[in-house]
Structure 1
Amino acid sequence: MEESDERKAPDVRFGQALFRQRRRAGRTQEALAGHISCSSGHISHVENGRRPLSEADVSKVDDFLGAGGRLIRVYGDLYEPENVDWLGQLHELQAEADVIREYHNSIFPGVVQRAGYAEAVFKSGSSWLSAEEVADSVKLRLERSAVVLGAGGPEYHVVMDDIVLHRPVACPGIMKDQIDATIELAESGRIMLQLHGWDQLPNPGLDGPYSILMSAGAPDLVHVESIYGGQTTDDPLSVRRFGVLFSRLQANARSPGSSVALLKEWSEKYGRSARSA
C-alpha cells in the first residue's frame, strides 16, 4: 500500500494549507522550522501530511506566516470537530479537489445555485434567520461557488433527482432562472449533469445528498450532508461504497444530453407559469 493511503485526512488537509500559506508568505521550510525550534524535515513531513503539527505551534506558525488566523481556523475545523463550520469545511475540500462527484435528491446543489434560488432555500430551511443573515448567507454561497466553478477549479459531475424540478422551492420566475443557469453551465462543459428519474427504481440515493471528493495528493473523501450538519470520512470502505452508489445512480440516470433537454422543457413550463402569474 502506498504511503499516501495511510495518511490521515486532517493531517493531509492541514499540510496542504500550511504549504500554500508558506509559499504565499515567501518563507522557506528552514525559516519556519527555526521559528518554532524544530527541523526542516519535520516541517516537510507536516506539509506532506505524514505528521501533525503540534497544537502549541499553530498560533506561532500562523503569526510567522502572516495568515491572519486562517491556519488557526483550519486547524480547529480539522482537529476539533465539535467546532467545525461544516459548510466552510466543505467549501475548502471542494476548492482543493481535482474531481467532485455529487448527488442531490431534493434541491439544486449549492455549487450551481443562483441568488434567488439560494435565498429561497435559506428562508425555507432556516426560517429563524433574519433578512440580513439570509443575505449574508446567499452572498457567501455565491462567492464559494465562484471559487469552485472558476478557472482551474475541479471537474464537477452532479446527478440530481427529477424531484428538484417537480417540486419548486420558489416562484416560477426564480425556478426558470435557476434552471437556465444550470443549462448554461452544462452546455458550456463546465459541469457534467445527469437527471435521475424520480420514478426510476431502485433508487440508490434515497438516503440523501453526498459528495465524493478526489485529489491527486490526498486520500479520497466522502461528505454526507444535511441542512443542519455534515460528516466527512476518508475511510476506504466508506468511500468505495459511496462510489458504487454513485456509479449506479449515474448508470440509471439520463444521459447528459437528455438531461439538458429535460431541463429546457421545464424552463419553458416555468416560463409559461411566470408569464401567466
Structure 2
Amino acid sequence: MTFAGPARPEPEYNRKTPASGPTVLRIVLGGQLRRLREEAGLSRAQAGDLIRGSESKISRLELGKVSFKARDVADLLDAYGVTGERRQTLLELVEQANRPGWWHQYGDVLPQWFETYLGLEQDAARIREYQLQFVPALLQTADYARAAIRLGHPSADERELQRRVELRMRRRELLTRPDPPHLWVVMDEAVLVRPVGGRAVMRAQLRHLAEICAMPTVTVQVVPFSAGGHAAAGGAFTLLRFAEPGVPDIVYLEQLTGALYIDKPAEVERYQKVMDRLCVDAEPDRRTPDIIADVLRRM
C-alpha cells in the first residue's frame, strides 16, 4: 500500500473538518505532520531521532500507514513548535485516528490488507466501481453473497461463511445512512446472466439490483455484449474520492491474496479515463431497469 501524497490542497485540520473514520484520519494526520516537519526544516531522519525511531518510521507515520502513539506525536509537535489550540486539536485527532472501526470485530475473517479498504470505503464521498464477474459487494443480496464467497473460500465451514456474509451485509448499510456516498457502478452484461448461486438466487439478486437503481445516490450502468471489446481489459477496479481535505483519490485493485492501493496522480488519472470510457461504452443508467427486466424474462 502506498499513499504518495495529496492530490488536492491540504489545509490545516480543525474541529470544523467533517468527521471521518480512523483510516482516513491517519492519512490526514500524517499529512499534517509531514507539512509541519517541512515547515520546521527537519529531515525525516532528524524527526525519527526525536521519537527514538527511524526515518522509515516517520515515513510510515506521514503516509498514514500505521497507528500513532500520543507520546510520539506530542514529541514531534514540541520539536515542530506547535502550541496552543492547534496542538490540542492534533492530539485529539490522534485519539480519533486510533479508535477501531466497526469492522475490527470481524478480525477472525478479515485480512489486514482488506481492513484498509473497508476504512476507505466507509469514508469515501464517491465510489466508482467496474465489475466483470460478480455483482459489486455493496449491491449483493445475502444469498448471492454466500454463493460468491463460497467460490472464493471453498474450504470455509458454515460459521466462517456466515461471518463473511454478515460482514458484507454490514458494509451495505453505508448506502442507507444519512450521508451516503455516491456509488457509481459499471458492470459487464455477463454479470447479469451468470447464475451465481443458481437460478432462484440470481433472480432474487436481479430484482434487488432493479430496486437499487431507484436510489438517488446509486448509479448502475451495464456494458452490453454488443459493445465488443472495451477499455477495462485489465479487469475490475474501484476509484475512491473523499470529501476530507488533503486525502488523495485512490484506486483499489483486489487480487487473490492481497490488494494494491494506488494514489499517484498520473496513475489514478489513467484509471479515471478508463472509467469515463466505460461509462460512454455502457448503456445509459436509465436503461438498466429494462436490461435487468429483459434478463429476468429470459432466465
Q: How does 1:1-277 map to 2 (within 5 A)?
A: 3-4=9-10, 13-15=25-27, 36=74, 38=77, 39-40=82-83, 41=86, 70=100, 85-216=112-243, 217=245, 218-270=247-299
TM-score, length-normalised on structure 1? 0.72
Give the C-alpha shift of residue 166 in structure 1. Answer: 2.2
**Partners of 1:103 and 1:158 within 8 A in 2:** yes
Percent identical residues? 23
Once the two structures are TM-superposed, the CA of residue 265 in structure 1 deviates from its matched residue by 1.6
Secondary structure at the aligned position of 1:264 is classed as helix
Cα separation, 1, equivalents of 2:90 and 2:275: 34
Over 3 Å counting, the alpha-carbon distance change for 1:169 and 1:236 in structure 2 is same
SS at structure 2 position matched to 1:98: strand
Tell me what 2:38 maps to: none
The whole-number CA distance in structure 1 between the counterparts of 2:144 and 2:272 is 29
Q: CA deviation at 1:46?
A: 8.0
Deviation at 1:173, TM superposition (A): 1.0
Cα gap change, 1:46 to 1:199, in 2 (>3 Å):
farther
Change beyond 3 A, Cα 1:195–1:66? closer
Q: Is the 2:26–2:97 Cα contact (8 Å) retained in structure 1?
A: no
Q: Which runs of 5+ in 1 are unaligned?
A: 19-31, 49-60, 75-82, 271-277
Distance 1:175 1:129, change over 3 A: same
Quote the Cα distance in structure 1 between the aligned partners of 2:9 and 2:157.
48
Q: Report if aligned partners of 2:223, 2:278 keep a CA contact under 8 Å in 1.
A: yes
The structure-2 alpha-carbon separation of the partners of 1:225 and 1:246, relative to structure 1 and needing over 3 Å to count, comes to same
CA RMSD of superposed structures (Å): 3.4
Q: 1:113 offset after TM fit, Å?
A: 0.7
Deviations 1:73-119 (A, max 9, x none): 99xxxxxxxx9623322121111111111100111000111100000
- Contact 2:242/2:249 (CA < 8 Å) preserved in 1? yes
CA distance in 1, matches of 2:123, 2:142: 24
Query: Unaligned 5+ residue runs, structure 2?
Result: 1-6, 12-21, 31-69, 105-109
Match of 2:249, SS state, is strand
Distance in 2 (alpha carbons) for counterparts of 1:46 and 1:223: 30
CA separation in 2, counterparts of 1:211 and 1:46?
32
Segment of structure 1 superposing worse, 246-255 or 169-178? 169-178
- Seen in structure 2, the aligned counterparts of structure 1 residues 234 and 265 have a Cα distance that, compared at 3 Å, is same
Matched with 1:23 is none
Determine helix, strand or coil for the equivalent of 2:10: helix
> Which one has more relative contact order, counting CA pairs under 8 Å at least 6 apart?
2
Does the aligned pair in 1 maintain the 2:29–2:90 contact within 8 Å? Answer: no
1:135 Cα shift?
0.6
> For 2:294, what is the secondary structure of its paired residue?
helix
Contact 1:106 1:161 in 2 (8 A): yes
- How many Å separate the matches in 2 of 1:257 and 1:201? 21
| CA distance in structure 2 between the aligned counterparts of 1:213 and 1:189, rounded to whole angstroms | 19
Superposed CA offset, 1:54-73 (max 9, x none): xxxxxxx65xx796x628x9
Against the structure 1 CA distance between its residues 198 and 34, is the aligned structure 2 distance closer, same or farther, given a 3 Å change threshold? closer
TM, length-normalised to structure 2: 0.67
- Identify if the C-alpha distance between structure 1 residues 15 and 223 changes in structure 2 by more than 3 Å, giving closer, same or farther: closer
> How far, CA to CA, are the matches of 1:14 and 1:206 in structure 2?
34
